[in-house]
Amino acid sequence: MPTGVALRDVRRQLFGAADRILLRSGPSGLTSRAVTTEAGCAKGVLHRHFEDFDAFLADYVLDRVERLAPEAAALREAAGTGTVAGNLTTAVTAVFESVAVAVVALITFRDELRARLRHTWPAGVPVLTEAARMIGDYLAAERALGRVPAGTDVDVLAAMMIGTGHLLFADRTGGRPTEEAVHRMVSTVLSSGAA
């Protein structure tokens, strides 16, 4: 790779390359050389911007968590509109059609990455716990509007929805789940909270 070529947004380029590799090759294919090759830059670029590859991966995971913020805002704004199950079907699909499933596999795959993430994210898997928080906040807003029954434990429902959603989307061999399958899962989880 040529040196001296200015990169406009190194983090964005490297993280985008990591997304593509992770989705295409899984966690075992995600190496520093693969990332820099995919990003079209010299290997030294990654090491000039990050302490080591696990530091890069930790920042990458946390950046992917931050990318849920617009989804969370859109879901909160949807409270009181449409149907609760419809809004959640859209939100769960958006979370799991991102790199979330692949990021979970990456965190599971790399011991050093999990150790680094524990410094800033002491419990749970970052992408999934943030998604559960997003859904819990939305369900709380809907409960306040009377569209989710009073007394519903929205945090438990949110965790159930994320766990079940992860299982639904994690099996990539059968292809992407249909909207009907996601809606059925969301409706079932919601009805279990009303019991």
Mean pLDDT, contiguous 10-residue spans, the chain (195 residues)? 55 92 89 93 88 90 84 92 96 84 82 80 73 94 95 94 88 77 94 71
For residues 38 and 57, membership in a common domain is answered with no
pLDDT the model gives residue 1: 42
The CA-to-CA distance between both ends of the chain, in Å, stands at 61
For residues 176 and 84, membership in a common domain is answered with yes
pLDDT the model gives residue 8: 60
For residues 171 and 86, membership in a common domain is answered with yes
For residues 190 and 146, membership in a common domain is answered with yes
For residues 169 and 99, membership in a common domain is answered with yes
User: Any alpha helices (H) in the chain, and if so which ranges?
Assistant: 10-25, 32-39, 43-49, 53-66, 69-77, 84-97, 100-109, 111-120, 126-144, 154-170, 179-194
For residues 172 and 146, membership in a common domain is answered with yes
CB 106 within 8 A of CB 22: yes
In this prediction the pTM is 0.80
d(C-alpha 192, C-alpha 128), whole Å: 21
pLDDT the model gives residue 97: 79
Q: Which two tokens stand for residue 1?
A: 């790779």
